[in-house]
């Protein structure tokens, strides 16, 4: 397999995935729109991973309190809520503007509402854990729908 690459490492990965065997494949530079969808995919994937990590953090907090008090501090949790909320707004917001599918937005708004509710109410213990887990699940769902919509949009653009 011989592949001649120009400028885009993401495109080279896709060429390898396409199964080009014993063929010379030339990958030209893409438009800036194609490259902006690449960073959007990575932004969305990163936000999905961080939302999932939030869910794991919330589930393991009782154990983490015994093992690593710094990770289980309220300041850490508040900072994570701000970070996760901001990433979710950025990833789903830009994705929605790109692919024009609104199916992720209700889950985004639900997750953000729950995060804000925990922050404003200042609850602790089991209530905080339950609401935080629901928020994380809602944000993960929003990111999954956004990612699927981005892929669908990308496939439609490639076929035209």
Q: Say how many C-beta atoms besides its own lie within 10 A of residue 60's C-beta.
A: 13
pLDDT digits (tens, 9 = 90+) for 123-158: 778 888 899 899 999 999 999 999 999 888 888 888
Q: Domain map of the chain by residue range?
A: 1-30, 36-159
The one-character DSSP state at 119 is H
Q: Helix crossing, 126-159 with 105-121: angle to 10°? A: 160
Closest Cα partner for 135 from 77, 95, 94, 91?
77
Structure tokens at 54: 């939030």
pLDDT digits (tens, 9 = 90+) for 2-45: 443 333 444 444 444 455 444 444 444 445 555 567 788 888 88
Question: In this predicted structure, what is the pLDDT of residue 90?
Answer: 93
Would you say residue 52 has pLDDT above 70? yes
């Amino acid at each position: 397999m011989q592949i001649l690459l120009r400028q885009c490492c993401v495109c080279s990965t896709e060429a390898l995935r396409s199964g080009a065997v014993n063929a010379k494949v030339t990958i030209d530079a893409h438009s800036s729109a194609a490259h902006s969808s690449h960073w959007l995919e990575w932004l969305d994937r990163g936000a999905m991973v961080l939302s999932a990590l939030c869910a794991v953090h919330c589930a393991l907090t009782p154990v983490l309190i015994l093992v690593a008090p710094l990770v289980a501090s309220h300041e850490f949790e508040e900072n994570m809520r701000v970070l996760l909320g901001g990433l979710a707004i950025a990833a789903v917001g830009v994705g929605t503007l790109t692919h024009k599918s609104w199916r992720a937005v209700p889950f985004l708004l639900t997750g953000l509402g729950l995060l804000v509710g925990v922050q404003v109410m200042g609850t602790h213990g089991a209530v905080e854990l339950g609401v935080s887990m629901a928020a994380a699940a809602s944000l993960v769902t929003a990111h999954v729908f956004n990612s699927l919509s981005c892929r669908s949009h990308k496939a439609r653009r490639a076929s035209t």
